[in-house]
Structure 1
């Protein structure tokens, strides 16, 4: 939902009034287990976006067929649409195959939380890559620190910091400024910062980010980067 919410020009709440199953040339490219529908719906709210949305809208959506083989019942269904304006008045173009979202209280609260976090003054930017990694062994065996600097869409500084202490589990945190806060914690799950990292970081450290490091330090940086990825958990995109 975060992928769609952050890219869709419009987020619209609506109630489906009519859904017509399309066939033949009108359903070209639709898989055998899905059906394309022409939908007319009544707008109930503009959740986000600029401009006005007419009270009556239309759009196309491809939906999976019910496993029971029965006809899918869409009339009256409350939905949220992540969309862009179409070419005709009142027409919307969904931005993806899952952009018609059931309008449940949980889904709407989730969508609104994402949109609110995205416009906050301290909203974290999108991660576009990794620039450099540094690893410094400590004075004691098993003590070290790794810093990994990230590239962002708006060139704001973000770094990952991994500390190892003897007989302790590695500790990692993220810094959103040039200064590293020693008391910082990993981002909580289901926050925008967690999403930016979990879904934006590459699966491994790029070799160019390790240039200048010894083989031993580069291997240590790779291990610390895995600590961060394991701590974030998978991006279930």
Structure 2
């Protein structure tokens, strides 16, 4: 990172919080849940620097990684002398285990993390006219991406089949849902706040949904649904 760049904000999100074994109710056990190692952690980073006396704020940056990636390095903490820090180079762990993104990601109310999923509303999609607003979700579940990679799309724009059977299409005009798999590397170019290009390639499945809503709303998500909440406590539930 450039010496003139300062970090204005840094925090991580990972929901729902793990429940200690001692507090779990065996009779209320859910048949499906996110394993602790499969949870995604989303780090929000805000950067700024001073130029000609002015504070210039850079676009938000997000970094995603699985909790297992970080826990694998916890063993090194015990061998670090008190008062000293241990540096693990980005190249040693980051490029294949993380995904960097830049953009206007609002961390207050308009985005949410649950399990392996991150969802947010495109800020520019709300204009008080009741036109279509866009919700975008990133799913870092490796099994979802792996399954999608096995199927081959048809060329007629309707449906495709392969050895695994029927495949839903990339764009469903009736439901307003589009999706794609992102497996190619992302690059945060040098010069903004990093000295060198930063490459990352943690695969994910991106799903976008158009909703007709005349009000501004915040977002909650669970394993299957997206919940839209307005200031007057109105709630809508959509599937992705």
Q: Which has the higher Rg, Structure 1 or Structure 2? A: 1
- Higher normalized helix content (fraction of residues): 1
Instruction: State the TM-score, normalizing by the size of structure 1.
Output: 0.28
Q: Which has the higher contact order (CA 8 A, sep 6+)?
A: 2
